[in-house]
Amino acid sequence: MATVVKLHVFPESFNQHRTRLLRSSFFGPSNNSSSPRVLGFGHNYEGLSVKQCRAFRSEDGGDLKEKKIRTLKKNEVNPKRESGFWNSLKYILLGSKSDDVYRHAVVKVEEVLSVIAIQIGRYIVTMMSTGVILAIGFQMSGGDSQMDALIWYSWLGGIIIGTMIGSNMVLEEHCRAGPRNVVITGSTRGLGKALAREFLLSGDRVVVTSRSPESVEATIKELEENLKEGINNAVGPSLTKLSHAKVVGIASDVCEPHDVKRLANFAVNELGHIDIWINNAGTNKGFRPLLQFSDEDIKQIVSTNLVGSILCTREAMHIMRNQAKAGHIFNMDGNGSGGSSTPLTAVYGSTKCGLRQLQGSLLKECKRTIVGIHTASPGMVLTDLLLSGSTVQNRQMFNIICELPETVARTLVPRMRVVKGTGKAICYLTPPRILLALVTAWLRRGRWFDDKGRALYAAEADRLRNWAENRARFSFTDAMEMYTENTWLSVFSLSVVCAFIILSSTGNTNLPGTW
């Protein structure tokens, strides 16, 4: 018996009638267990028919953001049509019978030409900056031909290395662009939901899943609200990016092979292909000696953490091997994954150690394929999984080293989106972060819990309000980071030139006969 929840989220606001219709159409399990019930727009289920609307219309003089979204939707074309740069240029030069296609072609060409102009401008600025240093170097050389030659060579070396760095930046920016198709297991609470939210607000298409259909439905509605809030705070390219975001969900038990296959088929049917699959579902059952774990506890931990990850990885590999684009699978690291002892969490630690062995084996099996096998290590995250069965002493340690799910997801997701190759380990709790936590341990006392182990941090709803405000300012942060990265290109080139000039000047002063 399986229940499927299939809800599409669009950037436009749902009207109240459609929301009531959706809620009233959510059914429980069907009497016929052989045919799982699916809820979706444009389908018939036991006499219920919901016709898909081509657009969501609002009253004239509506919200400015809604008008922007309508404009974006007008510029979108059927994804089955060719919409590359050269096809768009052809539509402009030769003309198109459809105004929508012509308008989309103009937007596409303007976008590409704008990116090209920006990169050319950066390169020109770099050349001009290094040219200034080059002229200063010639003045310092005093007309010495050997010194002039050395300055020319150092300038050329700086330009070559700087160009390589700049090219890598351009490639990374290109990789960051465009929506990703993402599947996240165990994504209706904790870190999984935070990852889903971060991917969604990066403009990606996300499939959320857990055992409970009610949890899946509630999570989709919550992420829908987060997406609307993100759209309301977005402008320019960020608004365009969010117009492609979408979230769908399905109830699935990763311990059951047929459920995992159904999840994989659902994801392919909804998204077309899968770029990223994250095996996040896991359980712990508290901190206590092995003798105090019941048979059911042990079975559930091993089934969810290890067997579930293996089943999901197998299905994801099936899909990714048969698609044109490369796909990446992430398994979550945890305490014990490196083979170290994990007293009071022996079962949990053994499953994480097994996942590390699975990682090593699959790296060799997938060596010559387009499937990337990676690990993601979130460190210690304040979730129900970590807090279940924890003692007061545990929570005092959590004050020093733990972080909230939203904080961890905001660091992991951008790195997951641009991952390349295979065998990468994406970690939140890096050695510098650990060192910083230990050095500032005296400042972190009472950060999350008081002396009696009572929680001091805000509830999830309050955290999300603050998180939304911070993310509204994220565009400014991105701009500062972009400025820093692009400035690095010219700074690196100039520093190479200056270093060679200084070294050469020092060398000449030590030559015989220069005193």
Q: Which residue has the higher pLDDT, 81 or 177?
A: 177
Say yes or no to pLDDT of 320 above 90.
Answer: yes
3-class SS of residue 184: strand
Mean pLDDT across the stretch 125-142?
A: 71
pLDDT at 168: 61
Question: At 66, is the pLDDT very low, low, confident or very high (cuts 50, 70, 90)?
Answer: low
pLDDT at 467: 64
Question: At 498, is the pLDDT very low, low, confident or very high (cuts 50, 70, 90)?
Answer: low
Does residue 413 contact residue 187 with C-beta atoms inside 8 Å? no
> What average pLDDT is seen over the chain?
75
Distance CA 354, CA 97 (A): 59
pLDDT at 491: 54
Query: Which range among 74-88, 353-367, 440-454 has the greatest average pLDDT?
Result: 353-367
Distance CA 56, CA 379 (A): 42
Helices first, then strands: H and E counts in the chain:
19, 9
Mean pLDDT across the stretch 263-283?
A: 95
pLDDT at 422: 93
How many residues would you count in the chain?
A: 515
pLDDT at 162: 63
Question: At 474, is the pLDDT very low, low, confident or very high (cuts 50, 70, 90)?
Answer: very low
pLDDT at 396: 83
Distance CA 306, CA 353 (A): 9
375: CB partners within 8 A, 6+ apart: 330, 331, 332, 333, 337, 355, 356, 359, 424, 425, 426
Query: Which range among 82-96, 233-247, 270-284 has the greatest average pLDDT?
Result: 270-284
Question: At 387, is the pLDDT very low, low, confident or very high (cuts 50, 70, 90)?
Answer: confident
Question: At 163, is the pLDDT very low, low, confident or very high (cuts 50, 70, 90)?
Answer: low
pLDDT in tens, 407-420: 899 889 988 998 88
Say yes or no to pLDDT of 312 above 70.
Answer: yes
pLDDT in tens, 15-56: 444 444 333 443 344 443 333 333 333 333 333 333 343 333
How many other C-beta atoms lie within 10 A of the C-beta of residue 502? Answer: 11
Name residue, tokens 């929301």. Answer: 19
Question: At 216, is the pLDDT very low, low, confident or very high (cuts 50, 70, 90)?
Answer: very high
Percentage of the chain modeled with pLDDT above 70:
63
Mean pLDDT across the stretch 134-150?
A: 72
pLDDT at 53: 39
Rounded to a whole number of angstroms, the distance between the first and last alpha carbons of the chain is 92
pLDDT at 76: 43
pLDDT at 84: 60
Indicate the CATH number for domain 179-472.
Answer: 3.40.50.720
pLDDT in tens, 481-497: 444 444 444 455 556 55
Mean pLDDT across the stretch 382-409?
A: 84
In the chain, which residues fall in CATH 3.40.50.720?
A: 179-472
* Pairing state between β 205-210 and 371-377: unpaired
Q: Which residue has the higher pLDDT, 139 or 45?
A: 139
Give a three-class secondary structure readout of 216-242. Answer: HHHHHHHHHHHHHHHHHCCCCHHHHHH
Give the least confident one: 84-98, 234-248, 324-338.
84-98
pLDDT at 55: 37
Say yes or no to pLDDT of 477 above 70.
Answer: no
**Which amino acids are annotated catalytic?**
348
3-class SS of residue 79: coil
Say yes or no to pLDDT of 304 above 90.
Answer: yes
Q: Is the dihedral of CA 389, 222, 187, 241 positive or negative?
A: negative
Say yes or no to pLDDT of 325 above 50.
Answer: yes
Mean pLDDT across the stretch 151-159?
A: 70
